[in-house]
Amino acid sequence: MPAAVVDARSAHAAGVQRLVASYRAAPATAPIRLAKRTSNLFRTRANAGAAGLDTSGLTGVICVDVEARTADVEGMCSYDDLVAETLRYGLAPLVVPQLKTITLGGAVTGLGIESTSFRNGLPHESVLEMDILTGGGEVVTASPDENSELYRAFPNCYGTLGYAVRLRIELEPVAPFVALTHVRFHSLVDLMTAMDAIMASGSLDGVAVDYLDGVVFGADESYLCVGRQTGTPGPVSDYTGQQIYYRSIRHEGGATTDRLTIHDYLWRWDTDWFWCSEAFGAQHPLIRRIWPGRYRRSSTYSRLMKIEQRFQIGDRIEQLHGRPPRERVVQDVEIPASRCVEFLEWFLSTVPITPIWLCPLRLRSDERWPLYPMRPGQDYINVGFWSTVPVGPAPGETNTGESNRRIEDKVGELDGHKSLYSDSYYSRRDFDELYGGETYRAVKKSYDPDSRLLDLYSKAVQRR
């Protein structure tokens, strides 16, 4: 074994020891959280009094096995660092979520998605095994054959069953460049018909498709973004500077083409947090010129958003203009592909938010994941929308999450699911039916018998 791998494994073992020690040192009655600088959760929560666990030694890649196309990765390793390491070998994780600061452990315990999900499913499906610090304070290995009930229940548990400290994942070979075709549609029916055809065949015009997602700007303007890997050298676009990726998609009709390096393609959405950087002025040409490039990334906008929420800056501005406060609607939902047009038409007529991101998804196998029970073999569309809407007609009206509740109801009506990284309002009974309550409680009892960690409902659902 190479000396560098031996050193990495030794450092990993020391990091695990520190994490376990900090967990066992935390008062039994204190809430627990990971001591991380960044988070991609958007729930309104107070962490006062929470014991922050030491994750300082668990943020890297332990090793890459090029022949086996696997990587051993620490749970708090960001995808930014993970991809930087695997691309050195011409490899990438099977699914790379859109934002650099998402960690591998976070994507597995909280679910993740991207434009390879129509062929590779979700990040947890490419996990071969993982070491988990459970609520009982022990580190156990979970795989399809060992502690399999924990392995199956861990995705979508959001750290309420434990924390992944090491994950062995599958990798796939990637080419140096991605050739893009952006196809415009003037109706949502035509958009979904084309997306369905690509999902069914894995190709467009007889050529294999490697990456597939889409953007809806309105009922009469939507796009499929089709990517194909290529080793052919040539000019590439750069959307980390003055140019903005999502704006490059839009055109009058037909199709346009583009090229990116594989690195820049994987992070094409991070520079402007999809399109949400506009709220901070980062897309204004003059501001963009003086906005340092190293701060033109999702983690910067996330910190700015948390400051805005802490001091209620947006609501104060609305109040000065005699307008009601605004409700945050930051959600991703999975809708059966056959009902996606119905959802989009309802959403566009009900919730004043555009653009909307679309990402097709199909589970890789017939295996079931009880805490997010999607049907194997069925096509879904992840629909992402991230903005705010007026709370109501009267200034000062209480924010009761009305828009979010209506979205939850519509998603349920269409036999879909909602991700739990943001505010939720389900009753306990509805939540249990949607997110594997009975299975979850059985696994919780086995691996967190003293309930040191929050249960999933307490952590995920908006507290009243």
Give the model confidence (pLDDT) of 26-57 as tens digits: 988 888 888 776 677 777 655 545 668 999 89
pLDDT band with cut points at 50, 70 and 90 for residue 464:
very low
Q: What is the dihedral of CA 161, 163, 166, 170, to 10 degrees?
A: 60
Burial 192-211 (b: 16+ CB within 10 A, else e): bebbbebbeeeebeeeebbb
pLDDT of residue 463: 59
Q: How confident is the model at residue 331 (pLDDT cuts 50, 70, 90)?
A: very high
Indicate the average pLDDT of the chain: 93
Q: Give residue 47's pLDDT.
A: 54
pTM, two decimals, is 0.95
- The answer to whether 156 touches 308, Cβ cutoff 8 Å, is no
Per-residue confidence (pLDDT) for residue 393, from 0 to 100:
52
pLDDT band at 392 (very low <50, low <70, confident <90, very high): low
Distances (CA, A) of 176 to 170, 228, 249, 266, 451: 19, 11, 21, 11, 47
What distance in Å separates the CA atoms of residue 382 and residue 366, rounded to the nearest whole number? 19
pLDDT band at 394 (very low <50, low <70, confident <90, very high): very low
| Per-residue pLDDT tens over the stretch 200-255 | 999 999 999 999 999 999 999 999 999 999 999 999 999 999 999 999 999 998 89
- Provide the residue ranges of all domains of the chain, joining segments of one domain with +: 3-173, 177-268, 312-425
For domain 312-425, the CATH architecture is 2-Layer Sandwich (3.30)
The domain 3-173: what is its CATH number? 3.30.465.10
Q: Choose among 101, 104, 444, 164: nearest CA to 302.
A: 101
353, amino acid identity: I
Can you tell me the mean pLDDT for 336-351? Answer: 98
- The pLDDT assigned to 50 comes to 64
Residues 285-323: tens digit of each pLDDT: 999 999 999 999 999 999 999 898 888 888 888 888 888
Return the higher-pLDDT residue of 31 and 166.
166
Q: 34 near 133, Cβ under 8 Å?
A: no
Return the higher-pLDDT residue of 462 and 72.
72
